[in-house]
Structure 1
Amino acid sequence: MEIERKYLVNQVPADYMEFPCHAIEQAYLCTSPVVRIRKEDDSYYLTYKGKGLMAREEYNLPLNEQAYTHLLKKADGIILTKTRYLIPLEGSDHLTIELDIFDGTYKGLILAEVEFPTEEEALTFIPPQWFGKDVTFSGEYQNSRLACDLSR
């Protein structure tokens, strides 16, 4: 089960580049249900995500580079590229901010996600001051929806 909140970010923290990061490329084979392939650095995954905005089922299966390349040719829509910075949430011993800075089609888009162990913790979360608008429940900034926005 994935439980997360998502926010637009207008102003990143000055020190964000000091934190670990991953280069991510991902594409969608299906959006209902969500079936995604992802390259993260030198690792490859196939992911299934169930319905939902804040909480939903999520299953990750490993792929090799050959399988990823084959499936990438079958993907629909836009291939998303971004750099994900992993920033420990100040004042928490177990939460991490995933700061996604998009490249390519969505260059300039910056989103922050925080995953939670429980829905209660997600619903009572008070975001850092530098987070912008909460877009968790709109679904507008789900990556699967961004990949299908062919008007870009």
Structure 2
Amino acid sequence: MMDKRGGIEGQAVHPGKYARVERERRFLLAEPPAPSAVTVSRVISDRYVTGTRLRLRRADFSDGRCELKLTQKVPISQPGAIQGLITNTYLSPAEYDVIASLPATLLSKTRFSVPPLGVDVFDGHLQGLVLAEAEFTADDEAQSFVPPAECIAEVTDDTRFTGGRLVKASRHELLGWLAEYGLHPEAS
């Protein structure tokens, strides 16, 4: 059972040497960014390991690089940019393959770097979802951030737009959530 700080009941979770505080704000966009605005792109395949808070990620960059990592996210239930604690471990291909054999739900997207945002354009049953994130190192940075005009709505506090929730969403649910924000991707 989760306690109100986002940890597992009976287990302390603290920022420090291994886990860092994750500060980000999320926004819905009506469409992908213009290619001329993109500085880097990568295709991301996320495997949310069943029954855990672990995400296994493969990121294939447009320049041919591949990044493999295991991430643990420990969310906190409070509004605002502080999302919880995050720990990343970079993996070798052999390590990735071992962990990839575990049962998981899959999510795929293309991430476009459009400073100051990372813009995710989702595939599969989440097609039509375009979600932008801005990450911060300090609370005051997050609070003073003014999103670009192409950001339709802020969804930082809407947990439906987190990877762990999106990976479980049906197409019908997603379309309903987007409609609440005035977005109708199938109509365009």
TM-score by length of 1: 0.82
Which of 93, 100, 118 is the aligned partner of 1:72?
Answer: 100
Q: Structure 1 vs Structure 2: percent identity of aligned residues?
A: 31
**Does the 8 Å CA contact 2:50/2:104 hold for their aligned counterparts?**
yes
The SS at the match of 2:164 is helix
Cα 1:146–1:18 change in 2 (3 A) is closer
In structure 2, what is the equivalent of residue 7 of structure 1? 27
Structure with bigger gyration radius? 2
In structure 1, what is the equivalent of residue 72 of structure 2? 48
In structure 1, what is the equivalent of residue 162 of structure 2? 142
Which ranges of structure 1 fall in alignment gaps of 5 or more residues?
Answer: 89-95
**Does the 8 Å CA contact 1:80/1:105 hold for their aligned counterparts?**
no
Quote the Cα distance in structure 2 between the aligned partners of 1:49 and 1:18. 27
Report how far residue 69 of structure 1 moved.
Answer: 2.9
Q: Over the residues paired in the alignment, what is the CA RMSD in angstroms?
A: 2.0
Cα 1:57–1:30 change in 2 (3 A) is farther
Q: Which has the higher contact order (CA 8 A, sep 6+)?
A: 1
Which ranges of structure 2 fall in alignment gaps of 5 or more residues?
Answer: 1-20, 61-65, 172-188
Large movers: runs of 4+ above 4 Å: none
**Does the 8 Å CA contact 2:38/2:114 hold for their aligned counterparts?**
no
Report how far residue 125 of structure 1 moved.
Answer: 1.7
Report how far residue 122 of structure 1 moved.
Answer: 1.0
In structure 1, what is the equivalent of residue 176 of structure 2? none
Q: How does 1:1-152 map to 2 (within 5 A)?
A: 1-15=21-35, 18-30=38-50, 34-41=53-60, 42-52=66-76, 54-55=81-82, 56-77=84-105, 79-88=106-115, 96-149=116-169, 151-152=170-171
**Does the 8 Å CA contact 1:12/1:130 hold for their aligned counterparts?**
no
Report how far residue 63 of structure 1 moved.
Answer: 1.4
TM-score by length of 2: 0.68
